[in-house]
């Protein structure tokens, strides 16, 4: 089949973008022809994709998205496609892959009622409505039962259009036979001793994924534990505000930027901290558990329940900083880390 894959922007380390590329790769291996339409593309261009850039100019993100959609619809009308697949919400899709959660129920819009009056809010609300309204014919691939329930409550789409997918995890996170060698090599390259606790947090949006919360928990540790702990922050975002927040413990924090060796970093780490404010799934939670790395995460993440199923960490309900601080103190015990590690491996 000839397929059109549509997304606003591509960059290598976003969760939505990683899912898009994995699905596109799988479709290409099954012999399908894939044309990609996007406003921008960062990183390598796989040879199994034909990439069509539709650059648009506007001062606001929501206006850029609207301009892109308008230009995209003209492009799609001039070429026949068997299916049009979207990875962002937009009209005219045959299939929508719901990597993002329900927009109108995102917590920040309950915190600040003024945002209900903004143009941005109404643009993205209406784009979401074009996909999920009962009148739409778009088939929807969902990643989280929690988000599916939210969409059903708000828009009431017919059940026959909804498909709940099982988690998709890269096999690279399965520990290889030489995992101990990889762990030693990574920790040595970062000057981390075997006696230290190496924490990791992974995010392409530091605020959304709660990097500030993680740093505050590290700062709040009792001195005896803080002396033995270091934190890797992995992801593509501006570190300056967080460097300022971490001034008093700067030597404890390693900003590693975007990395291609996430599984190896998980093998080296003792604990993943994922204090997200919003996360449709939290794929990194499952990746960590499969790698044998225990997890502390907020309950807002779609995949958080797997932490309890695996008995390999702590879920923080209705996030409070003090609760997160206490959870980290509880976790930083060699026997606890060891027990959770074995539970994670058994679950994976």
Give mean pLDDT, residues 238-245.
90
> Confidence class of residue 347 from pLDDT cuts 50, 70 and 90?
very high
8 lies in the same domain as 80: yes
Asked if residue 102 belongs to a domain, the reply is yes
Spatial separation of the C-alpha atoms in residues 300 and 213, rounded to whole Å: 14
Q: How far is CA 243 from CA 21, 234, 306, in A?
A: 32, 14, 32
Asked if residue 77 belongs to a domain, the reply is yes
**Residue 25: domain span:** 2-164
240 lies in the same domain as 193: yes
| 320 burial type by CB count under 10 A (0-12 exposed, 13-18 middle, 19+ buried) | exposed
306 lies in the same domain as 231: yes
Tell me what the pLDDT averaged over the chain comes to.
93
pLDDT surpasses 80 at 111? no
Residue range 49-100, pLDDT digits in tens? 999 999 998 888 999 999 999 999 999 999 999 999 999 999 999 999 999 9
Torsion of the alpha carbons at 229, 235, 236 and 242, rounded to the nearest 10: -30
Nearest C-alpha neighbor of 313 from the set 290, 288, 340: 340
43-57, 117-131, 147-161, 183-197: range with lowest mean pLDDT: 117-131
Residue range 263-300, pLDDT digits in tens? 999 999 999 999 999 898 999 999 999 999 999 999 99
87 lies in the same domain as 212: no
181 lies in the same domain as 121: no
pLDDT surpasses 50 at 200? yes
Asked if residue 221 belongs to a domain, the reply is yes
Give mean pLDDT, residues 204-212.
93
Query: Considering the entire predicted model, what is its pTM?
Result: 0.85
Domain boundary among 117, 132, 164: 164
239 lies in the same domain as 317: yes
Q: How far is CA 145 from CA 142, 182, 309, 314, in A?
A: 8, 35, 16, 20
Q: How far is CA 111 from CA 62, 151, 207, in A?
A: 21, 20, 16
61 lies in the same domain as 104: yes
265 lies in the same domain as 157: no
Spatial separation of the C-alpha atoms in residues 337 and 225, rounded to whole Å: 14
Nearest C-alpha neighbor of 38 from the set 74, 71, 83, 81: 71
pLDDT confidence of residue 14: 83
**What backbone torsions phi and psi does residue 275 show, to the nearest 5 degrees?**
-95, 50
Beta bridge partners of 254: 232
pLDDT surpasses 80 at 170? no
Asked if residue 170 belongs to a domain, the reply is no
Spatial separation of the C-alpha atoms in residues 266 and 293, rounded to whole Å: 6
16 lies in the same domain as 158: yes
Stronger pLDDT, 131 or 110, i.e. the higher one: 131
What is the side-by-side strand order in the sheet with 313-316? 253-257, 229-234, 197-202, 271-274, 295-298, 313-316
pLDDT surpasses 80 at 117? no
Asked if residue 269 belongs to a domain, the reply is yes
Integer-rounded Cα Rg, in Å, for the chain is 21
pLDDT surpasses 60 at 110? no
Give mean pLDDT, residues 119-134.
94
pLDDT confidence of residue 107: 67
Spatial separation of the C-alpha atoms in residues 245 and 197, rounded to whole Å: 21
Domain boundary among 133, 164, 195: 164
191 lies in the same domain as 291: yes
> Confidence class of residue 109 from pLDDT cuts 50, 70 and 90?
very low
Domain boundary among 141, 164, 187: 164
Give mean pLDDT, residues 165-189.
92
Residue range 325-340, pLDDT digits in tens? 999 999 999 999 999 9
154 lies in the same domain as 135: yes
Give the total number of structural domains in the chain.
Answer: 2
pLDDT surpasses 70 at 171? yes
> Confidence class of residue 33 from pLDDT cuts 50, 70 and 90?
very high
> Confidence class of residue 112 from pLDDT cuts 50, 70 and 90?
low
pLDDT surpasses 60 at 114? no
pLDDT confidence of residue 297: 98
> Confidence class of residue 220 from pLDDT cuts 50, 70 and 90?
very high
pLDDT surpasses 60 at 113? no
Asked if residue 169 belongs to a domain, the reply is no
206 lies in the same domain as 93: no
Give mean pLDDT, residues 235-256.
92
Residue 296 sits in a domain whose CATH number is 3.40.50.2000
């Amino acid at each position: 089949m000839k397929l059109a894959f549509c997304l606003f922007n591509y960059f290598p380390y976003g969760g939505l973008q990683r899912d898009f590329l994995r699905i596109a790769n799988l479709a290409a291996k099954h012999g399908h022809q894939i044309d990609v339409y996007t406003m921008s593309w960062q990183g390598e261009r796989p040879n199994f994709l034909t990439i069509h850039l539709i650059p648009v100019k506007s001062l606001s993100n929501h206006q850029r998205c609207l301009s892109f959609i308008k230009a995209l619809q003209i492009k799609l009308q001039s070429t026949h496609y068997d299916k049009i697949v979207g990875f962002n919400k937009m009209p005219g899709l045959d299939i929508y892959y719901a990597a993002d959660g329900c927009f109108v129920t995102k917590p920040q819009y309950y915190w600040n009622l003024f945002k209900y009056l903004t143009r941005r809010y109404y643009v993205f609300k209406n784009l979401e409505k074009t996909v999920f309204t009962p009148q739409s014919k778009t088939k929807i691939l969902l990643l989280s039962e929690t988000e599916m329930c939210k969409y059903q409550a708000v828009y009431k789409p017919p059940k026959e259009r909804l498909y709940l997918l099982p988690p998709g995890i890269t096999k690279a996170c399965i520990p290889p036979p030489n995992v101990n060698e990889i762990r030693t090599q990574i920790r040595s390259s970062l000057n981390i001793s075997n006696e230290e606790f190496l924490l990791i947090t992974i995010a392409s949006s530091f605020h959304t994924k709660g990097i500030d919360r993680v740093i505050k928990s590290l700062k709040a540790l009792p001195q005896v534990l803080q002396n033995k702990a270091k934190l890797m922050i992995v992801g593509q975002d501006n570190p300056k505000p967080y460097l300022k927040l971490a001034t008093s413990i700067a030597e404890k924090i390693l900003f590693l930027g975007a990395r291609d060796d996430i599984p190896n970093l998980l093998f080296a780490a003792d604990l993943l901290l994922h204090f997200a404010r919003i996360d449709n799934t939290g794929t990194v939670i499952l990746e960590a558990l499969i790698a044998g790395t225990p997890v502390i995460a907020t309950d807002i993440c779609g995949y958080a329940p797997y932490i309890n199923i695996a008995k390999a960490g702590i879920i923080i309900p209705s996030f409070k900083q003090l609760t997160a601080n206490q959870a980290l103190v509880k976790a930083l015990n060699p026997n606890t880390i060891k027990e959770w590690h074995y539970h994670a491996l058994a679950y994976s």
